[in-house]
Structure 1
Amino acid sequence: MQFVNTPTTGRRLLVPLASDVARLRRSPVELILRSSSFSRGFDAVPNEEDVNIEDKGTCVSEDEGVELFTELSSRPSQGEHTCATEGCQRVIINVSGLQFETQLKTLNRLPNTLLGNPFLRERYWDYKRKEYFFDRHRPSFQAILYFYQSGGRLKCPLEVPFDVFLEELRFFGFDQKMIDEYKVSEGYILEKEPLLPENKILKVIWQLFEHPCSSIGAKLLAIVSVLFIALSICVFCIETVPGYSSDPCVYYNHTKNISSTHPRKQAVTINYGDHFFILESVCVTWFIFELVVRFISCPSKLSFIKSPLNWIDGASIMPHLVFVGAFCLSGACIDSKASNVLSVLRILRVTRVLKLGKHSQGLQILGLTIVKSVRELGTFFLFLIFGVVVFSTAMFHSERLVDNSHFGSIPETFWWSIVSMTTVGYGDMFPQGIAGKVVGAFTVVGGILTVALPVPIVVTNFNTLYSACIGRAPIY
């Protein structure tokens, strides 16, 4: 019996060599001596009883036929392409009935994710259908798979809600850093992890006054703070009503000696019995107490001073402190009606409305929307200024020869252009000539287009932030 050991080429049948195999069965040694019969490294050897070409190969026997086996995995020669080493095997991924096909090396680009880790995705392998099955959101998976294919480009499809897309990213193993980077690329404002004081007592106090959702006591304290804010707002609004207004200063005649013949001098003091003054003093006392406690318990004094919200808190109590402090230092009650400076300071009391933003999620969303839409709002104001200058110039020259014209100069026409472009139309200034009316028509149309262009972007930003806050997924 003659045997020929073939090289280790893998477990497969040599179909192209069927004719040589037939001759091998008749005369194995003759075929071996013909080096042109096989082109895979066979060498001519003497005719012996047993001819060995390579050790441990697949045997070709005269009695048993030809059958090629291997004991080792395929080892390609240098420069030869194989899918086993390149990872180009095709992988079928079934997402709720929708099949996706990609290469294995594409998924291996992100080994820390669910699809890129062979051990994590093994539990989703369907042995019967030879595919991976995920019962997840199909439209979202298209963007996720493209993230692997493109090497890092992630974009939420337009028809997919943002919170749903974030849930899919977390399911497929995207870490929080990747999700945060994606949020920043989409325009989200990420809030850093809040700092807490190291002292336990200060930590409790800080959470009570700064984080209303941290405990029941913090919620009750937030309710009290909101009530004081609402009371102070009502006070400075009602005190301007003519039927309820009162003078904060009291004027009376005072002399050291009643029997003196010298004329009496008029003295002025604060009207301590005024109900509005009492309520204002109580509210300001609470605001000062809250501000001082927060400053003492804050983890970083420098960050506390830099915070714009804390400056708003200080501005809201400044008018009352200036009013009382001026009386204590000078001994005279300065009425806001007689002092323009105090009148301007009393306007700062309206900033107490902004204090509600810390306790209202809706106001926080509005603030985030404005911050996120700064570029669009800047573009709107730029278009508005450009339109005001152009249409004011056109209107002035169109109405310059008209008798009793309302447009004396281009700067005076700015007011009319702003009112017209914003579609308010007070009617205090209007064109009278035909040319002016034509310019007015173009001004209104241009104003509508100017206002309409950035509005959809701002509304989209608000809806995105609102759904992220109120919906199923948090913003941060």
Structure 2
Amino acid sequence: MQFINTGTPTIGRRLLGGQLNGTSDGTRLRPSPVDFSSRPASSLLSGFEVIPTNEFLNRTESRVSLVSEDEGLELSSGDGSSHPVVADHDCVHECCKRVTINVSGLRFETQLKTLNRLPHTLLGNPSIRKQFWDSKHNEYFFDRHRPSFQAILYYYQSGGRLKCPFEVPIDIFINELEFFGFDSDLIDEYKGSEGFILEKEFLLPENKTLKAIWQLLEQPNSSLGARLMAIVSVAFICLSIAIFCFETVPEYRVDSCVYTYRNVTENNSTKLKLSAVTINFGSHFFILESICVAWFVFELVIRFISCPSRLVFLKSVQNWVDVMSVTPHIVFVVTYCVSGVCMDSSASNALVVLRISRVTRVLKLGKHSRGLQVLAMTLRNSIKELGMFVMFLFLGVIIFSTAMYFSEAHVNYSHFHSIPDTFWWSIVSMTTVGYGDMFPQGVAGKIVGTFTVLGGILTIALPVPIIVTNFNSLYNAHNGRTSVY
């Protein structure tokens, strides 16, 4: 049975195609619940006739449809009357049932179909969320962080917009995401958008033996043996740095080459003639240096053999730093073995450069130090700011050097003989170092010097806070409350 109105209905909505019953002001004609409650039951059916269901469907199909302008309510019009069309709707199939979610006393309401958008999460999986069903209060109850849940629910409602509330710490919000079953890819993507430095996935060799060797040398936290190996490696690095420093102390300085002379008689006169130049194999520094280099070469070769990808290994900057750290000693020994002559740093400028490259061993500590890794990542993430600082400094040096040169051009015994010669003064003044080896003497020069120092302070003050912020974010991500690992 269906009830259909045989009279002219009165609806308080403006319809497309004309006004109903001549009411243009949209007066509300729908009875209120109080009016219905005061009427007898029989009066509620007045104006309706009872017709069979099949006949009702036939009538509705033959009528022309109208749509209300404000909410799109579909109405049928025909033979001078309009009727709402009852569309087929299955709440069970559409999952439009409302559910209540209680998070530590704060209740949220949403539709079931909203949660079902993410079936792999806790709220979207019926078999998982039923564990939190409270039949007494007819709601789901979670003893979790309340301010975080509004952002989690909004992710379901918005179709993928995830934003941590301002008052919620990042680490707490990430814990809530993990609890409610968000996958790791989504969490990593969110961390990346918030500036987190994510740990890269380690490639491992397929061979079990090579895998064990690679983890022993590359992953100190994988086992006790790997930790001991890391300690040994750091000890050799520190020893090599100490050798590099102490061999330059005058009290301990030893020549790396030994010069051998012999007496030669020529024209009834005896002269000393150089007979051979050999490596000072008895030097304690040479012995310790050889041991350290042997360890570094052994470690580098084993890592190359056991690495999961040769191409990735060769592209790594850290591995090239390891190569540069052992190159000076190897070249020194190989040159002697090939030519038979010991060539120290005084014999060639190229060897001086090679010996200076030994200082790169300090960078090997970055592999075992979180602090150095954070510093390196801060510099890498602040390339734009550093470039901006260099550009500001360059412009300031040109401007203030020119101004200082012409300001001191007529001063007797001026320290500024040319604009390029004034560059050094501008750099040390703008960076607030101020060696005092060059200084203005005239009034105009001192005024220019004042503006130079103020310009240098502004030049440093603009990019430095951004770099400090990057460092704090990275440091907290590694060691603080926003730990990523």
Q: Provide TM-score, normalisation by structure 1.
A: 0.78
Q: Of 17, 22, 25, which aligns to 2:42?
A: 22
Q: Which residue of 2 aligns with 1:420?
A: 429
Distance in 1 between the 2:153 and 2:412 partners? 71
Q: What aligned pairs does 1:130-279 form with structure 2 within 5 A after superposition?
A: 132-254=140-262, 264-266=272-274, 267-279=276-288
Q: Which residue of 2 aligns with 1:385?
A: 394
Distance in 1 between the 2:99 and 2:411 partners? 79
Cα offset for 1:437?
2.6
Cα deviation 1:276-330 (Å, max 9, x = unaligned)? 1111111111111111111111122222111111101110011111111111111
User: Does structure 2 conserve the Cα–Cα contact (< 8 Å) formed by 1:188 and 1:372?
Assistant: no
Cα offset for 1:140?
3.2
Q: In the superposition, relative to structure 1, how do residues 140 and 6 fare at CA in structure 2: closer, same or farther (>3 Å)?
A: closer
Q: Which residue of 2 aligns with 1:63?
A: none
Letter of the 1:403 partner, please give it: N
Cα offset for 1:202?
1.6
Q: What aligned pairs does 1:22-61 form with structure 2 within 5 A after superposition?
A: 22=42, 37-38=47-48, 42-43=50-51, 53-54=52-53
Cα deviation 1:321-350 (Å, max 9, x = unaligned)? 111111111111112123211111101111
User: Does structure 1 conserve the Cα–Cα contact (< 8 Å) formed by 2:264 and 2:272?
Assistant: no
Distance in 2 between the 1:270 and 1:407 partners? 49
Cα offset for 1:436?
2.8
Distance in 1 between the 2:386 and 2:3 partners? 75
User: Does structure 2 conserve the Cα–Cα contact (< 8 Å) formed by 1:423 and 1:444?
Assistant: yes
Letter of the 2:345 partner, please give it: S
For 1:114, what is the secondary structure of its paired residue? coil
Q: Which residue of 1 aligns with 2:465?
A: 456
Q: In the superposition, relative to structure 1, how do residues 109 and 217 fare at CA in structure 2: closer, same or farther (>3 Å)?
A: same
Q: Of 420, 431, 449, which aligns to 1:411?
A: 420
Q: Of 369, 372, 387, which aligns to 1:363?
A: 372
Distance in 1 between the 2:459 and 2:90 partners? 60
Q: In the superposition, relative to structure 1, how do residues 126 and 253 fare at CA in structure 2: closer, same or farther (>3 Å)?
A: same
Q: Of 322, 339, 343, which aligns to 2:331?
A: 322
Letter of the 1:230 partner, please give it: C
Cα deviation 1:372-401 (Å, max 9, x = unaligned)? 333333333333333333333333333333
Cα offset for 1:152?
3.0
Q: In the superposition, relative to structure 1, how do residues 14 and 443 fare at CA in structure 2: closer, same or farther (>3 Å)?
A: same
Segment drifting more, 219-228 vs 409-418: 409-418
Distance in 2 between the 1:407 and 1:106 partners? 75
Q: In the superposition, relative to structure 1, how do residues 252 and 395 fare at CA in structure 2: closer, same or farther (>3 Å)?
A: same
User: Does structure 2 conserve the Cα–Cα contact (< 8 Å) formed by 1:189 and 1:372?
Assistant: no
Cα offset for 1:116?
4.1
User: Does structure 2 conserve the Cα–Cα contact (< 8 Å) formed by 1:89 and 1:104?
Assistant: yes
User: Does structure 1 conserve the Cα–Cα contact (< 8 Å) formed by 2:264 and 2:271?
Assistant: no
Distance in 1 between the 2:379 and 2:333 partners? 37
For 1:164, what is the secondary structure of its paired residue? helix
Q: In the superposition, relative to structure 1, how do residues 86 and 199 fare at CA in structure 2: closer, same or farther (>3 Å)?
A: closer
Distance in 1 between the 2:178 and 2:256 partners? 61
Q: In the superposition, relative to structure 1, how do residues 430 and 146 fare at CA in structure 2: closer, same or farther (>3 Å)?
A: farther
Q: In the superposition, relative to structure 1, how do residues 228 and 444 fare at CA in structure 2: closer, same or farther (>3 Å)?
A: same
Cα offset for 1:80?
9.3
User: Does structure 2 conserve the Cα–Cα contact (< 8 Å) formed by 1:7 and 1:54?
Assistant: no
Distance in 1 between the 2:401 and 2:108 partners? 60
Cα offset for 1:136?
2.5
Higher strand share: 2
Cα offset for 1:447?
2.3
Segment drifting more, 15-24 vs 275-284: 15-24
Q: Which runs of 4+ in 1 moved over 6 A?
A: 79-90, 255-258
User: Does structure 2 conserve the Cα–Cα contact (< 8 Å) formed by 1:162 and 1:464?
Assistant: no
Cα offset for 1:365?
2.2
Cα offset for 1:428?
1.7
Q: In the superposition, relative to structure 1, how do residues 444 and 93 fare at CA in structure 2: closer, same or farther (>3 Å)?
A: farther
For 2:220, what is the secondary structure of its paired residue? coil
What 5-or-longer segments of structure 2 have no aligned partner?
A: 6-32, 55-83
Distance in 2 between the 1:253 and 1:343 partners? 25
Aligned residues: CA RMSD: 3.7
Q: Which residue of 1 aligns with 2:121?
A: 113
Letter of the 2:307 partner, please give it: C
Q: In the superposition, relative to structure 1, how do residues 100 and 454 fare at CA in structure 2: closer, same or farther (>3 Å)?
A: farther
Letter of the 2:320 partner, please give it: W
Q: Of 361, 373, 379, which aligns to 2:382?
A: 373
For 2:221, what is the secondary structure of its paired residue? coil
Distance in 2 between the 1:196 and 1:474 partners? 24
For 2:222, what is the secondary structure of its paired residue? coil
Identity of aligned residues (%): 65
Cα offset for 1:177?
0.9
Letter of the 1:322 partner, please give it: V
Cα deviation 1:28-60 (Å, max 9, x = unaligned)? xxx9xxxx811xx645xxxxxxxxx449xxxxx
Q: In the superposition, relative to structure 1, how do residues 97 and 257 fare at CA in structure 2: closer, same or farther (>3 Å)?
A: farther
Cα offset for 1:250?
0.9
Distance in 1 between the 2:110 and 2:453 partners? 55
Q: In the superposition, relative to structure 1, how do residues 225 and 104 fare at CA in structure 2: closer, same or farther (>3 Å)?
A: same
User: Does structure 1 conserve the Cα–Cα contact (< 8 Å) formed by 2:264 and 2:270?
Assistant: no
Cα offset for 1:160?
3.6
Letter of the 2:313 partner, please give it: F
User: Does structure 1 conserve the Cα–Cα contact (< 8 Å) formed by 2:197 and 2:474?
Assistant: no
What 5-or-longer segments of structure 1 have no aligned partner?
A: 25-30, 44-52, 56-75
For 2:258, what is the secondary structure of its paired residue? strand
Cα deviation 1:214-256 (Å, max 9, x = unaligned)? 1111111111111111111000100111111111111111479
Q: In the superposition, relative to structure 1, how do residues 331 and 135 fare at CA in structure 2: closer, same or farther (>3 Å)?
A: same
For 2:178, what is the secondary structure of its paired residue? helix
